[in-house]
Amino acid sequence: MIHVVLFEPEIPQNTGNIIRTCMAFNMKLHLIEPLGFYMDEKHLRRAGMDYIKDTDYHIWPDWNTFVSNNPGTYFYSTRYGQKSPDQFDFTVDDDIYLIFGKESTGIPKEILREHLDFCMRIPMRPDARSLNLSNCVAIVSYEALSQRGWEDLSRVEVIKGKDWLSQ
């Protein structure tokens, strides 16, 4: 299974968008406290729409509690990474955890320093500091899901029907 982990997220709209992404891609979401908002905040509900009820998510009180309860392979998204997401093998047999830091400061250096071989950077212009958090989650998740053959995801439109365009 693919898990998305948000370390101390601060902006409810980003988390709402990520909730929607996790639901659509069938990934579990983990939120590490403290959060910069309340889960019932109006903006979070609007961005996450009604997807939160269909999203598998868990809120953890801190990083250490999360790590001690979630074995698997961890991949860290940071602007300081030396490899791009496509240079990692997301097809490992373990559960994989895609870790993303808070919007203002990212993942703490103390955590990253212990996992340098698993730190990735999304390639971008050298003068761009970062991308939006929800966009980063979508980009890295897309790469991981692609490598895993889109397991358990539909490749055809099922709500209106796969032949809707030709009707």
Q: Per residue of the chain (167 residues), give pLDDT as tens.
A: 999 999 999 998 899 899 999 999 999 999 999 998 887 756 666 655 577 788 899 999 999 999 999 999 999 999 999 999 999 999 999 999 999 999 999 999 999 999 999 999 999 999 988 899 999 999 999 999 999 999 889 888 888 888 888 88
The whole-angstrom separation of Cα 21 and Cα 135 is 10
Q: What is the pTM of this model?
A: 0.92
CA nearest 9: which of 45, 26, 33? 33
The top-level CATH class assigned to 2-166 is alpha beta
Question: How do the domains of the chain map onto residue ranges?
Answer: 2-166
H-only helix segments in 25-56? 42-48
Task: Enumerate the H helices of the chain as residue ranges.
Answer: 12-24, 42-48, 63-69, 109-113, 133-147
Helix axes 12-24, 133-147, angle to 10 degrees: 20
